[in-house]
Amino acid sequence: MKQQLMALFELQKLDLEITRLNAALTALDGALELRKKHAAAKKHSDKTHQTLTDTELQLKNYELELKTIDAKRASSEKKLYSGAIMSAKEVSSLEHEIDHLKNQQDELDGKTLELNDTVETLREQSKAAAAGVQELEQQVKDGIAKEAVERKRLEAEIEAMTPKREELASKVTDRQLLSRYESIRKRTSNTGMARIIDHKCNGCKIGVSSFIVRNAYDGKTIDYCENCGRILIMVDE
């Protein structure tokens, strides 16, 4: 019986390796983290670009407004200095209007200058953000290509294990033992067999009675963990 248990234990080692490879295969997620990063960077870049466009439009409006005020002022000054107006009241009213237009012009000049600086900064930010997006785009492409290689490698490795597993399984001639192993494995989604280490089942870490430890040591019977049901074996790694 000991030989059968040993053969089963070897099979389990391979099964664990196949499980590990399958998990690695499942963990390949199409560079998800990078794609998330890229999406966030794109969102930020689009927002910056929109702010830039809005600010540029605002700047254009200021410039148009300035032109209009300029024209108004020129026309008023022309009128004032043409000599056509004789009434003092009219002169004073025109002078007053010209002053008012001058003030408006100054204020708008200040705002335009400020906005010019803002546009300059936003242009730089927008350029940097777009470059960042492009860089991440490349990283996503590289990540996906790298995963494709890794996927192929893992799939080939798993495929190569199929005949190996058949060979190891054929050594377990006690078919009942083998099917018991398979059903426990399914139930635990992990292992069907566990070593006894320090009087404990290494599958569930619960203590095993001395009676079972002795049996396992002799290896003449098949013993199960009373807690998790795994087939127990006394063996060094």
Q: Contact positions toward Zn ion, by CB under 5 A?
A: 201, 203-204, 225, 227-228, 230
Supply the minimum distance, in Å, between the C-beta of residue 191 and Zn ion.
10
Which CB atom, from 192 or from 203, has the smaller least distance to Zn ion? 203
Min. distance of Cβ 224 from Zn ion in angstroms?
8
CB of 194 to Zn ion, least distance (A): 6
C-alpha 1/C-alpha 4 separation (Å) is: 5
CB of 237 to Zn ion, least distance (A): 17
Q: Which is nearer to Zn ion, 69 or 234 (CB)?
A: 234
Residue with tokens 């008012």: 100
Q: Of the two residues 125 and 227, which places its CB atom closer to Zn ion in the complex?
A: 227
Nearer CB in complex with Zn ion: 125/202: 202
| C-beta of 8 vs 129, nearer to Zn ion | 8
Cβ(98)–Cβ(76) under 8 Å?
yes
CA distances from 115 to 119, 128, 131 (A): 6, 20, 24
Nearer of residues 139 and 190 to Zn ion, judged by Cβ: 190
Quote the tokens at residue 165: 């597993």
Q: Please, what is the minimum distance in Å from the beta carbon of residue 233 to Zn ion?
A: 12
- What are the distances in angstroms from CA 94 to CA 70, 72, 76, 83, 102? 15, 11, 7, 12, 12
CA pair distance 68, 107, nearest whole angstrom: 14
Q: Give dist(CA 98, CA 172) in Å, integer.
A: 106
DSSP assignment of 148-177, as one string? HHHHHHHHHHHHHHHHHHHHHHHT---HHH
Residue 212 CB, nearest approach to Zn ion (Å): 11
- CA dihedral 221→226→231→234, nearest 10 degrees, is -70
Give the tokens for residue 74.
């020129």
